[in-house]
Amino acid sequence: MLLIHCPYCDDTLPELEFAYAGEAHIARPADPSKLSDEEWRDFLFIRTNVKGVHAERWRHIHGCGRFFNALRDTVSDRFLTTYKAGEARPDVQTLEAAE
């Protein structure tokens, strides 16, 4: 089972307390009526689905109820870090250097 750190509760807890909520940092278009069909496709359906470090949203549903972001390696399923919603995506190199 994954152990996930909620940056709001500042506690590392079992996966069962959390709900996965898809790829992170996909911003809703500022002016939706200006988008072409291709841009809508990219926003709605295209995902990086990366084999490697993935930025993703999680929600602490059985705890504080808040959404936060995580960097996780999709090959090993290891979490590199979690961070609060609204914060920029941390740089992987700096993270690894800090370890």
Partner 1 sequence: MTHFSGFSLLKNALSGHKNWPEQWPDKQPKGEYDVIIVGAGGHGLGAAYYLAKEHGITNVAVIEKGWLGGGNTGRNTTIIRSNYLYDESAKLYDHALDLWENLSTELNYNVMYSKRGVMMLAHNVHDVQSFQRHIHANRLNGVDNQWLTPKQAKEFCPPLNISPDARYPVMGAALQKRAGTARHDAVAWGYARAAAKRGVDIIQNCPVIAIRRGADGSVEGVDTAKGFIKAKKVAVSAAGHTSVVMDSAGVRMPLESYPLQALVSEPIKPVFPCVVMSNTVHAYISQSDKGELVIGSGTDQYTSYSQRGGLPLIEHTVAAICEVFPIFNRMRMLRKWGGIVDVTPDRSAILGKTPVKGLYVNCGWGTGGFKATPGAAHTLAWTVAKDEPHPINAPFTLERFTTGRLIDEAAAAAVAH
Q: Which is nearer to partner 1, 77 or 94 (CB)?
A: 77
Q: Give me 72's structure tokens.
A: 């996780």
- Sites for Zn ion among residues 40-99 (CB under 5 A): 60, 63-64
**Torsion sign across C-alpha atoms 96, 80, 84, 56:** positive
Site for Zn ion contains 9 (CB under 5 A): yes
Among 12, 25, 46, 89, binds partner 1 (CB under 8 A): 46
Chain centroid to CA 95: how far? 16
Contact 13, 6 (CB under 8 A): yes
Length of the chain equals 99
Q: Which is nearer to partner 1, 45 or 88 (CB)?
A: 45
Q: Which is nearer to partner 1, 55 or 98 (CB)?
A: 55
How far is residue 68's CA from residue 84's CA, in Å, rounded to a whole number?
A: 5
Among 8, 43, 67, 83, binds Zn ion (CB under 5 A): 8
Among 32, 62, 74, 96, binds partner 1 (CB under 8 A): 74
